[in-house]
Structure 1
Amino acid sequence: MSASRISRLWTVEDVSKYLGIPVPTLYQWRSKGYGPAGRRMGRYVRYRPEDVQSWVDRLSGDVA
């Protein structure tokens, strides 16, 4: 796989900044099975940017 096709995985902090959501909220969502799909890598959680963006796209257009 070429280096140009490899994208950097996002940290919980990256996702927090992207979504404007506090880090503890992301961990709560994760424990409840909600939110973008993350992958555990040892003691770390990492997200693929396209998974986060896809999750946002799937959200209802309704405003709470």
Structure 2
Amino acid sequence: MTTTPTARKRRPRGTLPETPTAPTVPETELAELMTSDELAEYLSVSRDTVDVWRQRGGGPQWVRAGRHIRYRRRDVVAWLDSTLSQGPAKPANRK
């Protein structure tokens, strides 16, 4: 029993092959991205503090865009909401 080869579909001459398109991100979401410096200023902390939070996993969620670190405002707000405490603040242990 022989099988017949299936015909390959050819694209019209002079046209480029279809390339997959990356999913588009709404501009409103892009405007919601903050740099580490912007986050530090927003929270009134140093850039070093933001970096330590990221390295230890204690701060807001972050995304990597190539080699750049960005924070979504909604993740920052969610992180702040998760750190809310009720009741009196405990005094710091001082020596």
TM exceeds 0.5? yes
Structure 1 residues 1-36: Cα deviation after superposition (integer angstroms, max 9, x where no partner): 764xx2311111111111111111111111111100
Among all aligned residue pairs of Structure 1 and Structure 2, give the percentage whose two residues are the same amino acid.
32
Measure how far apart 1:42 and its partner are: 1.5
SS in 2 for 1:40: strand
> Counterpart in 2 of 1:44?
68
Distance 2:80 2:74 in 1: 10
Q: Which has the higher helix share?
A: 1
CA distance, structure 1, for counterparts of residue 26 and residue 58 of structure 2: 33
Report deviation, 1:61: 1.6
Aligned to 1:27: 51
Moved over 4 A (4+): none
Which structure has the bigger radius of gyration? 2
Q: Which runs of 5+ in 1 are unaligned?
A: none
Higher relative contact order (CA 8 A, sep 6+): 1
Partner residue in 1 for 2:84: 60
Secondary structure of 2:58's aligned partner: coil
Gap runs ≥5 in structure 2 = 1-24, 91-95
Question: What is the alpha-carbon distance in structure 2 between the residues aligned to residue 2 and residue 51 of structure 1?
Answer: 17
